[in-house]
Structure 1
Amino acid sequence: MRPLNELLQTDDFTSRHIGPTEAEQAEMLAALGVSSLDELVESTLPESIRFGGELQVGGPVTEAQALADLKAVAAKNKVFRSYIGMGYSGTHVPPVILRNMLENPGWYTAYTPYQAEISQGRLEMLLNFQQMVMDLTGMPVSNASLLDEATAAAEAMTLARRQVKSKGNVFYVADDVHPQTLDVVRTRAEYFGYEVATGPANGDIPEGTFAILVQTPGTYGDLHDLSPIAERIHAAQGALIVATDLLACALVTPPGEQGADIVIGSAQRFGVPMGFGGPHAAFLACRSEYQRSMPGRVIGVSKDARGKTALRMAMQTREQHIRREKATSNICTAQALLANMAAAYAVYHGPEGIRTIAERVHRLTGILARFLAEAGVEVVTGNFFDTLTFKGDSVAIRARAEAKGINLRYEGDLISVSLDETVAPADVEDLIEVITGTRQNDQGQEFKVLSEYQHKFISGIPEALERTSPYLTHPVFNTHHSESAMLRYLKTLENRDYSLVHGMIPLGSCTMKLNATAEMIPVTWPEFGNLHPFAPADQTQGYAQMLTELEAWLADITGYDAVSLQPNSGAQGEYAGLLTIRKYHESRGEGHRTVCLIPASAHGTNPASAAMLGMQVVVVKTDANGNIDLDDLRAKAEQHSANLGALMITYPSTHGVYEEHVTEVCEIIHAHGGQVYLDGANMNAMVGLAKPGLIGSDVSHLNLHKTFAIPHGGGGPGMGPIGVKAHLAPFLPNHEVRPVSESHTGAVSAAPFGSASILPISYLYIRLLGPAGLKKATQVALLNANYIAKKLGGAFPVLYTGRHERVAHECILDIRPLKQASGITEEDIAKRLMDYGFHAPTMSFPVPGTLMIEPTESEPKAELDRFIDAMLNIRREIQEVQDGLLKAEDSPLRHAPHTQDDLMADEWNRAYSRETAAFPTRAQRAWKYWPAVNRVDNVYGDRNFVCSCPPMEEWVGV
């Protein structure tokens, strides 16, 4: 029998996270001509960047131990009943949505729907989200989510500036907009050169105002009549931006019917937990004239090759990977999973259910208002929906509230209380006791909501503002109200999608690795999910401990001195990193340092982020091997030495190579007074092997939704915290409502710690793997990528390699020679891979006409070999075209993907068999993934732009 210490070592998470077994790793290493993972690293990484020590992070521990320990940490949080409001509400997550969407890897492990044919399910739910937002806000077009309400307001500000005729420079913000929104708006406005003015919503418009931001209901509860405001700003040739509440819009005349040009807000209260601030799906809806400048993703209706209705992401020419420094936004990740939850909530409840919830919330608020009036409490809120603000003894009221486990909002002698769908009559009775110190009414009788006060209420919505227009009229919102019907609808949509439950998603630059079940479990714990982001600090000690430990671990992994967890996407991390650099230069009297050098190969968010910080983008050439051209870098650094602010690089490079001269690159920039921003998108090739902060960079963002196991969720959530060296630490983002440092830098996200409720995923990922496991995960990521490059290199040239012909964690296959010889394109290969049961690699990025493959460490050797076999079989199909056996237009590659409709057709006039179409290898006979539609017509979709739900009869047969 084996000794006990050996038996204990077998309960090892690392072996579960890493795909290839030890024996398979040895076989793959042999194919690469090396004997060990260490030897592979030595032949791949430049010696100058290697980190030879051991990471100082928690673990490793077993899954059971990690969950038990984190549960004990979570227990330090105190989950009070929250009436704080400020854009965050308690909500009931329908169990059918909780179990079958939020907790379902078929939904949360899917990728952004760039490959529309295998994304029809989540595309349909995102289309539902857009329809829901358009209906409730009264606007003609909506996007498919943004990051949070505050950043949506900032995006709306810049959208308005681009669209209106006013030449002014003033952005007017009503003084009852949520304070966290104003904080983010001010941060964003500074480097666009806008002046932010504040005042009453219905006050005089300052001269030079190009847009007004009004919140209704306001942060203190007031409903505003928007029509007079719209008339004033339109007369000044400006725009009216309205931040609103979707539930209020069920009862109140929607902003679109009152003259709003842009409407933003959060869909959080539609079945998404508060989660200490996120993730939550924000929305932005606007006038039709604005749609081609609207930030974020838009789902559009098109058709496929058979003429069937099909969905796709529309108008992608707006996106930053194409427009770069001219992009309208640096938005990359959105909040797709949370938008899907909110849309599913609307589908499940339907218009009557939503109205009932809204009426119940408003009625209970009206009962509370009536009692407060009778009790002589001075209520300062006028018209209202769910929030009342009153004057009172905040010290005494707070003491009574906290004794009963209740949180209210306190600002001096002003106290606010916001109700939500979780509030019951008994809760209102508790609120009365907390506010007045008694449970009695003005006759000295015990206050009872149901028996005495259910008909005694104040209506907070004047008749002139009552909604009369219908909403959620599409059949999708009027069909799936029983749990059986909803369950089957969700499963139908899930079956139309490809996710990690089906197979490998080999996307370069996106790291679609295992999102372990153990890591996901804490997300739905109430101790993490049900906390308001502005709850008192003594109630959030569990979060504080976890976040502090996570910050320390990330700092050690990256070699930086401090970390901010606030940015809630990779693009936000880029923005925050450059923001700290700008603030640092200004603190030294060098605010003129605004030139940002960016390699030609950089991801499109890099130049877009720099432009948003008011920086001048100067492109640095790359050499024949895809590396930074050192001569051009030196010349550009010398040319702009007096004004050089930063260099943005990605390491390993966007081309998937460890550049040998990266330390020299950093030295060149520092010699000319600049700072180095190192994009952490490729951190999966560095953890445990190299540290950005030791290479010479000053700041990096980390994509936790890539390297650190937070799932992509079909296009979000994401998290993009930044690490910085000590000299930049004083300039990390702070937060107006809940300060997180002594920095004077404004907030970049609505919540102090971004999307805090998904941070337990990365926390557990690090703790489960521990120092050795993290390092081995990186080593196997390199092994898997180099194994694929070796096996496919003879059929598809690997475009760029580093030392000893190695790649990092991803490789680029050059399709251009094959395209020239055969007419078969990289898109044809991407679509044909669907027939083989795979999601396509990254297509035409960073080099047009290529495919970039990243297998990740989580894929077992059998899956790698299945992918290799598929690619080699596709290469043989291309050869048939090259040899003249088939014309390109007659090839299965050009007609891919093939659907069940193709095989069931009465006539088959193709130059190849049905078997070749759908079952090109034996693997498909054992298990077959069927694309929901044939190849989607992108041109038709853009020429016939529709972003609303089509009639149900168009879905017949989908």
Structure 2
Amino acid sequence: MARPDHRASLTDLSRGVPFSRRHIGPSAADQQQMLDTVGYSSAEDLLDAAMPGAIRTTQALNLPAAATEPEVIAELRQIASRNRVMSQMIGLGYYGTHTPPVVLRNVLENPSWYTAYTPYQPEISQGRLEALLNFQTVISDLTGLPTAGASLLDEATAAAEAMTLARRAGKSKSSRFVVDADAFPQTISVIATRAEPLGIEVTVADLSAGLPEGDFFGVLIQYPGASGAVRDHAALISEAHERGAIVAVAADLLSLTLLRAPGEIGADIAVGSAQRFGVPMGFGGPHAGYMSVRAGLERSMPGRLVGVSKDADGDPAYRLALQTREQHIRREKATSNICTAQVLLAVMASMYAVWHGPDGLKQIAERAHRNATVLAAGLRAGGVEVAHEYFFDTVTARVPGRAAEIVHAAADAGVNLRLVDADLVGIACDETTTDGDLLSVWRAFGLGSLSISDLDAATPDALPDALLRSSAYLEHPVFSAHRSETQLLRYLKSLADKDYALDRGMIPLGSCTMKLNATTEMEPVTWPEFGSIHPFAPVEQAAGYEELVRTLEGWLAEVTGYDAVSVQPNAGSQGELAGLLAIRAYHRDNGQAHRDVCLIPSSAHGTNAASAVMAGMRVVVVACDDEGNVDLADLDAKIAKHVENLSAIMVTYPSTHGVYEEGITELCGKVHAAGGQVYVDGANLNALLGFAKPGQFGADVSHLNLHKTFCIPHGGGGPGVGPVAVGAHLAPYLPGHPLHEGTKVGPVSAAPHGSAGILPISWAYLRLMGPDGLAKATASAVLAANYVAARLREHYPVLYSGNKGLVAHECILDLRGITRDSGVTVDDVAKRLVDYGFHAPTMSFPVAGTLMVEPTESEDLGELDRFIDAMIAIRGEIAQVQDGVWPADDNPLRNAPHTAAAVTAEEWAHPYSRQTAAYPGGVTAVKYWPPVRRIDQAYGDRNLVCSCPSPEAFED
């Protein structure tokens, strides 16, 4: 009798372990153990019990079957090959740059930097906070304004934020904002998009002819202009101040090493981009926008601000300052919906400045300027008119009727120029510009052989004497101490070692989804075929990007059940705004412009209310019931009261409380019946993928967080991508772009496809997981959250749960009763978790005095148990405080976190041992030591210091 053949096929053997098995932490056996603890026999049974049947889809996702990692890399290589790498001389805020290899490898490609979370726990974020303080110092020094933020999303949105800052901080009663006609076209367009819902009138004026007549509350000047022109705006700024306006200057950072700083010519606000400080163009992003302000405006700035405070020992320590999370606190009264930054890119830009120092940056600027002056001299020598006498790196050539012909000729030679109009060509130089590029440009203009060296020797600089910079910058020692690669390598390593990132251990943040960012997903980001493409390059040169974007948008539409998607929004907050602007435009086109009421549950993410206000809507809060669900009775009352003006409801699903609400389809029906639209915040989409689609259970629009559900890493607080997905009726109202295809709504980001440079990450994730893998990830995430809840419920009350006591992908541990009984606060528990080797869960959101835990699908059972055991041990420590074993003001929780210096001090007067302080879970081979003790937050706000302190501040 022949033996059965158990041999695997060659196909099976070649495919290896499915990627989903690499992505999902618990093995099949581990998951069964977890299911036994939760009380279910299978993941399918658990999902059937937890997720309402009314929202479930019966169809499998229509996505390609999962591919292997080598297959995905090969497919992306093929896609990338369709992008044409050129010498990019288009300008308009995007420039070629050389990323220092030591920064590329040790920041952008280093999981210690890209898997870190926003530094809300400052004691374990000192490395990236120091890097951000360096960034703020670079911006402050170069712009000549005393306070700079820790980055904004891009230059155009930073300019729009400057507009609203000027409006709320100024004294003018006017609603008009004046914008330089020589500003970047994408900046003008984003400002217009943001201004209209707020009732701001935008006047675009040729400021070379002076300020327009009439009143205005603010002015935006481009310096140098989009045309390349360098003008002395000091007198114009002085006149604007006399007329009661606040002045913002959009400045090129590199030019400010040679030109007088905006602060020195009177600007109140400076904005711009740090892209050319070592960050690839990436077809438009991500890049670190910046903002700096004069004294008196720092407490009104949007976004994040890193400040210097002190820890429990009185030593200097960094932390986020002031209004960093103001949209969570002020909600509909928030002045901005910005809740993220571009931290990873700001770190890169700061380290570019650390690497080159003031002299190196100036040399790079001088080289770009000399290339531009020599280029202009060659054009003039050939009889071509150059539009401006003074310029920094961009030359505008006047060639009546020949512009398109010249741009095409240059492209054929591998150089992209800017087609301004039929008569004008723009040419921008940067640190990557070569002699060959200059020769190619001259040939495109039909000029003969020219000698670069002769022109260089004979041509003076093209900067006006009155604007030459004389003030110093980057004098802090950090910008002169790391000239060798060894020095910078060790500096970067020392900063990374101070931080806690996902490469070190679990980050169980509820609502923030800190899961695996796989190396295969990250690898393509740094390929030149993706990194070196200008966002305004001719579409035929970016065929690979266009294919990738179209495919990804289609996949995102499929998994969400919508009809159309735009990836332009470069943060979740901008996705929210884009979705609400689509709803607003839809109502207006239907003759119902009066519909301006947006219903928002009391549990909602703070950005929801802020975004609604920015979209010109009035916020009405809907109550939640004792189980954390939207109170449908209160919803009925609010709908009845506002039925004539109801525009939309914004609801997060699963809810912000981590529960699958049973009444979601009923809620959608009620709002639709009243003429409103339903916005489902997609922040928690990772609890639905493969099982339910918002676009099919009643929603009209959602934004998606690619930096959460779809594996783009958080990068210490950015980059993010927040695509907006809509039903067919809202598709005409997706954001457009002035240099790309247009729609009925303007852009919300500077580039047509937003932060396109990181879209390969989410494309790869979807391709690697396939429909089955995505469903398994969802099931595993829900199982992990319920496992944590099941094991911790007897130690900490689980605040909300849904059907049969189950949660969705996260659970809220209620410490309020514990705090009343023991005095131990949620802060104490969060800081004590550091001693156990963990980043704390989300603190006091959405309910004060609670911890929201999201374990994700990527953490293995051993790490889940380690966290659970730590939380149980901390509950035991709290009991010792309650029982009087340890005093309420001197115990390991109140004194946490414990540094190595603290536990090795000569004197130890605490009523617990040094080992209890440092090794509460027992001595282990690997120990994370926080670099500082608990930080005094209030002190830092009272004594605001937001640039690099002197080295003496750190002396004993």
Q: Normalised by the shorter chain, which TM-score bucket?
A: over 0.9
Which residue matches 2:490?
Answer: 488
Do the aligned residues in 2 keep the contact of 1:317 with 1:323 (CA within 8 Å)?
Answer: no
Which residue matches 1:194?
Answer: 200
Do the aligned residues in 1 keep the contact of 2:80 with 2:529 (CA within 8 Å)?
Answer: yes
Q: How far apart are residue 456 of structure 1 and its match?
A: 2.2
Given the superposition, is the C-alpha separation of residues 652 and 887 from structure 1 closer, same or farther in structure 2, using an over 3 Å criterion? same
Which residue matches 1:754?
Answer: 754
| 1:425-436 correspondence to structure 2 within 5 Å | 425-435=435-445
Give the 3-state SS of the residue equivalent to 1:471 in structure 2: coil
Q: Output the CA distance in 1 between the equivalents of 2:86 and 2:313.
A: 55
TM-score under structure 1 normalisation?
A: 0.98
Q: Output the CA distance in 1 between the equivalents of 2:440 and 2:955.
A: 52
Q: Output the CA distance in 2 between the equivalents of 1:482 and 1:287.
A: 35
Letter in structure 2 aligned against 1:659 = E
Given the superposition, is the C-alpha separation of residues 173 and 420 from structure 1 closer, same or farther in structure 2, using an over 3 Å criterion? same
Letter in structure 2 aligned against 1:153 = A
Give the 3-state SS of the residue equivalent to 1:454 in structure 2: helix
Q: How far apart are residue 367 of structure 1 and its match?
A: 1.0
Do the aligned residues in 2 keep the contact of 1:205 with 1:233 (CA within 8 Å)?
Answer: no
Which residue matches 2:283?
Answer: 276
Do the aligned residues in 1 keep the contact of 2:560 with 2:694 (CA within 8 Å)?
Answer: yes
Q: How far apart are residue 953 of structure 1 and its match?
A: 2.6
TM-score under structure 2 normalisation?
A: 0.98
Question: What does the per-residue CA deviation read over 1:252-291, in whole Å, with 9 as the maximum and x for residues that have no partner?
Answer: 0111000001100000000000000000000000112111
Question: What does the per-residue CA deviation read over 1:64-87, in whole Å, with 9 as the maximum and x for residues that have no partner?
Answer: 000001100110111111100000
Do the aligned residues in 2 keep the contact of 1:370 with 1:458 (CA within 8 Å)?
Answer: no
Q: Output the CA distance in 2 between the equivalents of 1:911 and 1:104.
A: 41
Do the aligned residues in 2 keep the contact of 1:385 with 1:461 (CA within 8 Å)?
Answer: yes
Letter in structure 2 aligned against 1:148 = D
Q: How far apart are residue 402 of structure 1 and its match?
A: 1.7
Question: What does the per-residue CA deviation read over 1:498-518, in whole Å, with 9 as the maximum and x for residues that have no partner?
Answer: 000110000000000000000
Q: Output the CA distance in 2 between the equivalents of 1:273 and 1:312.
A: 28
Do the aligned residues in 2 keep the contact of 1:678 with 1:697 (CA within 8 Å)?
Answer: yes
Q: Output the CA distance in 2 between the equivalents of 1:95 and 1:548.
A: 32
Q: Output the CA distance in 2 between the equivalents of 1:22 and 1:316.
A: 45
User: Please, which moves more after superposition, 244-253 or 399-408?
Assistant: 399-408
Q: How far apart are residue 430 of structure 1 and its match?
A: 2.2
1:74 pairs with 2:83? no
Q: How far apart are residue 614 of structure 1 and its match?
A: 1.5
Give the 3-state SS of the residue equivalent to 2:426 in structure 1: strand
Which residue matches 1:877?
Answer: 877
Which residue matches 1:906?
Answer: 906
* Superposition CA RMSD, Å: 1.0
Do the aligned residues in 2 keep the contact of 1:222 with 1:383 (CA within 8 Å)?
Answer: yes
Which of 559, 573, 576 is 1:574 aligned to?
A: 576
Which residue matches 1:920?
Answer: 920
| 1:700-711 correspondence to structure 2 within 5 Å | 700-711=702-713
Matched residues, number: 946
Do the aligned residues in 1 keep the contact of 2:15 with 2:68 (CA within 8 Å)?
Answer: no
Q: How far apart are residue 738 of structure 1 and its match?
A: 1.3
Q: Output the CA distance in 1 between the equivalents of 2:134 and 2:395.
A: 32
| 1:152-163 correspondence to structure 2 within 5 Å | 152-163=158-169
Q: How far apart are residue 827 of structure 1 and its match?
A: 0.4
Letter in structure 1 aligned against 2:408 = A
1:167 pairs with 2:173? yes
Q: How far apart are residue 51 of structure 1 and its match?
A: 1.3
Do the aligned residues in 1 keep the contact of 2:304 with 2:324 (CA within 8 Å)?
Answer: no
Give the 3-state SS of the residue equivalent to 1:870 in structure 2: helix
Q: How far apart are residue 199 of structure 1 and its match?
A: 1.2
Give the 3-state SS of the residue equivalent to 1:241 in structure 2: strand
1:416 pairs with 2:423? no
Do the aligned residues in 1 keep the contact of 2:302 with 2:323 (CA within 8 Å)?
Answer: no
Do the aligned residues in 2 keep the contact of 1:426 with 1:449 (CA within 8 Å)?
Answer: no
Do the aligned residues in 2 keep the contact of 1:685 with 1:808 (CA within 8 Å)?
Answer: yes
Letter in structure 1 aligned against 2:371 = L
Which residue matches 2:3?
Answer: none
Q: Output the CA distance in 2 between the equivalents of 1:113 and 1:317.
A: 11
| 1:30-179 correspondence to structure 2 within 5 Å | 30-179=36-185
Q: Output the CA distance in 2 between the equivalents of 1:874 and 1:214.
A: 55
Flag structure 2 segments of 5+ consecutive residues without an equivalent.
1-5
1:401 pairs with 2:410? yes
Which of 546, 549, 552 is 1:550 aligned to?
A: 552
Letter in structure 1 aligned against 2:102 = V
Give the 3-state SS of the residue equivalent to 2:192 in structure 1: helix
Which of 7, 11, 14 is 1:2 aligned to?
A: 7
Given the superposition, is the C-alpha separation of residues 448 and 231 from structure 1 closer, same or farther in structure 2, using an over 3 Å criterion? same
| 1:525-924 correspondence to structure 2 within 5 Å | 525-739=527-741, 741=742, 743-922=743-922, 924=923
Q: Output the CA distance in 1 between the equivalents of 2:37 and 2:70.
A: 37
Give the 3-state SS of the residue equivalent to 2:651 in structure 1: strand
Do the aligned residues in 1 keep the contact of 2:303 with 2:323 (CA within 8 Å)?
Answer: no
Which residue matches 1:945?
Answer: 944
Do the aligned residues in 2 keep the contact of 1:170 with 1:206 (CA within 8 Å)?
Answer: no
Q: How far apart are residue 318 of structure 1 and its match?
A: 6.1
1:28 pairs with 2:34? yes
Flag structure 1 segments of 5+ consecutive residues without an equivalent.
441-446
Q: Output the CA distance in 2 between the equivalents of 1:776 and 1:242.
A: 50
Which residue matches 1:443?
Answer: none
Q: Output the CA distance in 1 between the equivalents of 2:954 and 2:535.
A: 41
| 1:236-247 correspondence to structure 2 within 5 Å | 236-247=243-254
Given the superposition, is the C-alpha separation of residues 65 and 956 from structure 1 closer, same or farther in structure 2, using an over 3 Å criterion? farther
1:335 pairs with 2:342? yes
Given the superposition, is the C-alpha separation of residues 433 and 955 from structure 1 closer, same or farther in structure 2, using an over 3 Å criterion? farther
Given the superposition, is the C-alpha separation of residues 318 and 167 from structure 1 closer, same or farther in structure 2, using an over 3 Å criterion? farther
Q: How far apart are residue 356 of structure 1 and its match?
A: 0.5
Letter in structure 2 aligned against 1:610 = A
Given the superposition, is the C-alpha separation of residues 956 and 529 from structure 1 closer, same or farther in structure 2, using an over 3 Å criterion? farther
Q: How far apart are residue 200 of structure 1 and its match?
A: 1.1
Give the 3-state SS of the residue equivalent to 2:239 in structure 1: helix
Which of 503, 508, 511 is 1:509 aligned to?
A: 511
Give the 3-state SS of the residue equivalent to 1:894 in structure 2: coil
Do the aligned residues in 2 keep the contact of 1:338 with 1:717 (CA within 8 Å)?
Answer: yes
Which of 197, 201, 218 is 1:211 aligned to?
A: 218
Letter in structure 1 aligned against 2:882 = Q
Which residue matches 1:370?
Answer: 377
Do the aligned residues in 1 keep the contact of 2:123 with 2:930 (CA within 8 Å)?
Answer: yes
Q: Output the CA distance in 2 between the equivalents of 1:58 and 1:45.
A: 26
Question: What does the per-residue CA deviation read over 1:713-747, in whole Å, with 9 as the maximum and x for residues that have no partner?
Answer: 000000000110011011111101112x5x22111
Give the 3-state SS of the residue equivalent to 1:494 in structure 2: helix
Q: Output the CA distance in 2 between the equivalents of 1:455 and 1:713.
A: 46
Q: How far apart are residue 208 of structure 1 and its match?
A: 1.8
Question: What does the per-residue CA deviation read over 1:572-619, in whole Å, with 9 as the maximum and x for residues that have no partner?
Answer: 000000000000000000010000000000010010001111211000
Q: How far apart are residue 956 of structure 1 and its match?
A: 5.0
Q: Output the CA distance in 2 between the equivalents of 1:943 and 1:59.
A: 56
Letter in structure 2 aligned against 1:395 = A
Q: Output the CA distance in 1 between the equivalents of 2:837 and 2:952.
A: 29
Give the 3-state SS of the residue equivalent to 1:642 in structure 2: coil
Question: What does the per-residue CA deviation read over 1:238-258, in whole Å, with 9 as the maximum and x for residues that have no partner?
Answer: 111100000000000111000
Do the aligned residues in 1 keep the contact of 2:306 with 2:320 (CA within 8 Å)?
Answer: yes
| 1:441-480 correspondence to structure 2 within 5 Å | 447-450=450-453, 452-480=454-482
User: Please, which moves more after superposition, 5-14 or 305-314?
Assistant: 5-14
Do the aligned residues in 2 keep the contact of 1:172 with 1:206 (CA within 8 Å)?
Answer: no
Q: How far apart are residue 449 of structure 1 and its match?
A: 1.7
Q: Output the CA distance in 2 between the equivalents of 1:708 and 1:607.
A: 25
Question: What does the per-residue CA deviation read over 1:842-895, in whole Å, with 9 as the maximum and x for residues that have no partner?
Answer: 000000000000000000000000001100000000000111111221110000
Q: How far apart are residue 316 of structure 1 and its match?
A: 3.2
